[in-house]
Amino acid sequence: EAAVTQSPRSKVAVTGGKVTLSCHQTNNHDYMYWYRQDTGHGLRLIHYSYVADSTEKGDIPDGYKASRPSQENFSLILELASLSQTAVYFCASSMTGGARNTLYFGAGTRLSVL
């Protein structure tokens, strides 16, 4: 019944490899987000999207690409994974943008780059 589903829940990747994290929402929301969580840094916005086939840069987009092929799906792509990208990644959705809208989060993907 979870409205925002992330896959995989955990992944081990090798340095220099390609990693794709997937997110699917059933909220019928226009906005989707990818956040990264590191200890002591809270959640930092990587990319977001407000419509299919379009993505926007967040606060820390370097080293990441995003893809929104449909309203329901939003992927985060690490073309050349690096050690510094080891973190927990969260996808979220909201009806519209801005602070007056609730973000609904997935359970997260724990990525370890070795």
Partner 1 sequence: SQLAEENLWALSVHEGESVTVNCSYKTSITALQWYRQKSGEGPAQLILIRSNEREKRNGRLRATLDTSSQSSSLSITATRCEDTAVYFCASNYGNEKITFGAGTKLTIKP
Chain positions contacting partner 1, by CB under 8 A: 4, 31, 33, 35, 40-45, 48, 50, 56, 58-59, 90, 92, 94, 97-100, 102-103, 105-108
Residues 111 and 91: beta-carbon distance below 8 Å: no
Residue 83 DSSP symbol: G
Q: Smallest distance from the beta carbon of 55 to partner 1, in angstroms?
A: 12
Closest to partner 1 by CB, 13 vs 43, is 43
Q: Rounded distance, CA 11 to CA 3, Å?
A: 22
Q: Is 61 in a helix, a strand, or coil?
A: coil
Closest to partner 1 by CB, 78 vs 92, is 92
